[in-house]
Chain A
């Protein structure tokens, strides 16, 4: 049970407080309800570029990092297709420094031209390091564009192409800030060695005076159901052939999400899972194979991906995967198999909750989904999933008309 309290400032900022007196530290986590899905198709990668600019100085404070480090703090941030999260941890005595810094950049950035110029280059190097200069680095750029016809999950968080980042202007930056970085579009979680009256006073003092701004209304085109199989084939300078298959699943808050999550664990949650045992160990068709899902807020994807043993034909490997899926769709799963993946989920949650930083981020995540209380009811939802539901969902999800397949062939 993770305890927290919540209040909302007049400007719409939600504040959640999680006390843990066993640590000398405090965590201040600010989550903004904006991600790559909120971008224009012609200006992709912007939410993430913007995250970099949040460290380029705010209206009253030239540098974010230095005062925080002087106060003994550390910080970082990340952007996903759904959200942007900024977190810092510092000795609890110095917590006001974090309020000062975070509130000033919510109030207004400095909009420095130099910062934009440099961060455009930094993000271009990040793009190259992770998606161009790596074998198989372009897989998800290519796959997303085929799997999603309509939803902005068509592009990756880093952006569709380098050019979008290179073309970003200071006007774009300002417009994005005013549209998305408002108090009502943010969630502040304060955790660790803190108490409620102290947090309330500090939140009122530093965040209270920030104008509410105009509430952003999200209006994203949702993905229509897929009605026939899709297929793409790529040839690249990689050592091994690889197979990728995706199926549309459910939004994060849909009850069927839990069934889909457990289904992915049954297929590949470890060395005793179905795909690994059959396809890597027994049939020796793949050198590795995984099943995972994207976990996104809007309807995400179930993914099976693996690299083939040299000499194995891609079509044969694909057929072998389909045979495993057919088995689960026809015969379902056993009671111990279900118990195993539920135990795994329980264990993973307990380990995740060990760090106060993780707890703070979880609370913010669930609040973003609509209700921070979900954090304490998740396990029961997983426990309630039945073998019948797994069978039913495996039939719906792994329908051939819901599938996109990619053959990634080695040129060598």
Chain B
């Protein structure tokens, strides 16, 4: 009979050597950098064209997001339908997404069709015309989508907590109102497009199983455009945080849950505390076995899930605790969150828990490096945040070496309730 009460021997994940496959790098004729990871078993490719065209560059609300979205809705050569048809015929997916600093065009395709699709992306980023009719449909459908979202407590809470922390004028704090959409004009988008796409700054990230002539292909389709290499000199915007810290908002009289957000400003990835604070965050609310999850879900059953995380921003970050809890237990949930903060300030994390979290985090990074897209995602994060090439290894090292005393000091520095905004949207 085997003894099932005895766990099998394990190798501590903290003893593993992790390595991040280095990228290859070249520049197009116009100076635009291309970062490449050539790996993987499937004949697939992902390319991301990262433009510095996020909402921090817009003068008028929602122009950046609208411009990015409508890149697929008509060029001087193709209608919106033709653009979609050109991608979809080859089973390819082209998405776009707009963030605060950057706005991205993404292509996923089987490697064998790459040469058919690059001309279509070229057309989108150099010849878009933002037709009035497409603008009308966009405005109308965006307004409708926004109205549905505004009925969701979690959507409203997510917008409000950012506005409290950064201020409604800050790119990280501002949000779209229905009226903003009405005021968007085709001319706004054309001007933004010219400055930040046609003559904008761009970096290209490509991963997967790459064809031998990839450099030539990219140069042919993107090396002659008027785009330039990124300067990485995003101007820092001042924050105007809300003077009031605690909010209770009624959004839906029939709601059975409240969306809770508790958040505080936090430095960006360049700060000396960041890498070790990531470990503290894991213990606090960063994974299924965290203190918040164990106490508030697994012990008390107040919620389906509770998480804490650092926002992924370039200039500065915020530390957010987020959950949806039963309406009658929202206040009790908030009390428990502060209790967990206090515990981390007052008492050292014991050896066993610390080793568990370290092993979990290292195992999780190891699992995350599964495949070329994931490897590139790590590099992209390092490059776009303008971090050192050693950042990955320093982060791993911070996880392996951080002590309970250091974590307590970080908790005492950052997990102070008076620094946190507190919001419930019912």
Contact = CB atoms under 8 A, between A and B. Distances in A.
A122 interface: yes
Contact of A125 (B1, B93, B110, B326): B326
B4 A70 contact: no
A356 B13 CA distance: 20
A125 B362 CA distance: 32
Interface in B246-277: 252, 254-257
B8 interface: yes
Contact of B144 (A281, A309, A344): A309
A287 B141 contact: yes
A93 B11 contact: yes
Contacts of A129: 257, 304, 324
Interface residues on B, range: 35 or more
Contacts of B89: 272, 336, 339-340, 343
A93 to B, nearest CB: 5
Interface in A109-131: 117-126, 128-129
Interface string B1-13: 1101101111111
Nearest to B357: A69
Interface stretch (B146-154, B196-204, B307-315): B146-154
Contacts of B88: 269-273, 340, 344
Q: Name, among A24, A117, A126, A237, the residue most crowded by chain B CB atoms within 10 Å (CB to CB).
A: A24
A125 B145 contact: no
B356 interface: yes
B289 A66 contact: yes
B148 A238 contact: yes
Contacts of B80: 271, 281
B344 interface: no
Nearest to B136: A284
B91 A70 contact: no
Contacts of B151: 135, 237-239
Contact of B13 (A91, A121, A240, A346): A91
B72 interface: yes
Contact of A118 (B42, B72, B300, B326): B300
B302 to A, nearest CB: 7
A132 interface: yes
Give the interface centre of A22, A123, A354, A356 by most chain B CB atoms within 10 Å: A354
B214 to A, nearest CB: 18
A272 B83 CA distance: 8
Interface stretch (A94-102, A227-235, A324-332, A390-398): A94-102
A94 B10 contact: yes
Interface string A211-241: 0000000000000000000000000011110
A57 B39 CA distance: 40
Interface stretch (B229-237, B367-375, B380-388): B367-375
A60 interface: yes
A280 B133 CA distance: 12
A287 B136 CA distance: 12
B41 interface: yes
B180 interface: no
Interface in B1-46: 1-2, 4-5, 7-13, 16, 40-44
B357 to A, nearest CB: 8
Contacts of B391: none
Contact of B84 (A70, A272, A284): A272
A70 B5 contact: no
A350 interface: yes
A386 interface: no
Contacts, number: 218
A377 interface: no
A85 B144 CA distance: 37
Nearest to B8: A96
B364 A74 contact: yes
Contact of A70 (B81, B108, B288, B360): B360
Q: How large is the interface on A (under 10, 10 to 19, 20 to 34, 35 or more residues)?
A: 35 or more
B288 A355 contact: no
Interface string B124-163: 0000000000000100110011011011110000000000
Interface in A298-326: 307, 309-310
B255 to A, nearest CB: 6
A71 B10 contact: yes
Given A74-B367, A129-B257, A129-B304, A134 B152 contact: yes
A122 B333 CA distance: 13
Contacts of A123: 304
B153 A133 contact: yes
Contact of B370 (A61, A73, A350, A355): A355
A350 B44 contact: yes
Interface string A145-173: 00000000000000000000000000000
Nearest to A310: B144
B84 A125 contact: no
B145 A287 contact: yes
B41 A22 contact: yes
A206 interface: yes
Interface string A324-364: 00000000000010011001111110110111110000000
Given A310-B144, A355-B371, A344 B72 contact: no
B148 A239 contact: yes
Interface string B85-103: 1011111110000000000
A291 interface: no
A31 interface: no
A72 B363 contact: yes
A318 B335 CA distance: 50
Contacts of A72: 10, 12-13, 16, 359-360, 362-364, 366
A35 B382 CA distance: 43
B355 interface: yes
Chain A CB within 10 A, most for which of B83, B297, B298: B298
A25 B367 contact: yes
A340 B93 CA distance: 12
Nearest to A125: B304
Contacts of A239: 144, 147-148, 150-151
Given A74-B360, A122-B303, A354 B145 contact: no
A107 interface: yes
B375 to A, nearest CB: 12
Interface in A224-264: 237-240
Contacts of B206: none
B254 A118 contact: no
A25 B370 contact: yes
Contacts of A136: 148
19 contacts: A24-B16, A25-B367, A69-B288, A69-B356, A69-B357, A72-B362, A94-B10, A97-B10, A129-B304, A135-B151, A270-B88, A272-B84, A280-B141, A340-B85, A343-B90, A344-B91, A347-B109, A350-B42, A351-B108
10 tightest Cβ-Cβ pairs between the two chains A and B: A72-B363, A121-B301, A347-B91, A271-B84, A72-B13, A343-B91, A272-B84, A96-B8, A126-B304, A60-B4
Given A60-B5, A94-B11, A345-B91, 16 more contacts: A20-B41, A61-B4, A69-B363, A70-B355, A74-B364, A74-B367, A100-B4, A125-B302, A240-B148, A271-B84, A272-B88, A284-B140, A309-B140, A347-B108, A351-B42, A354-B371
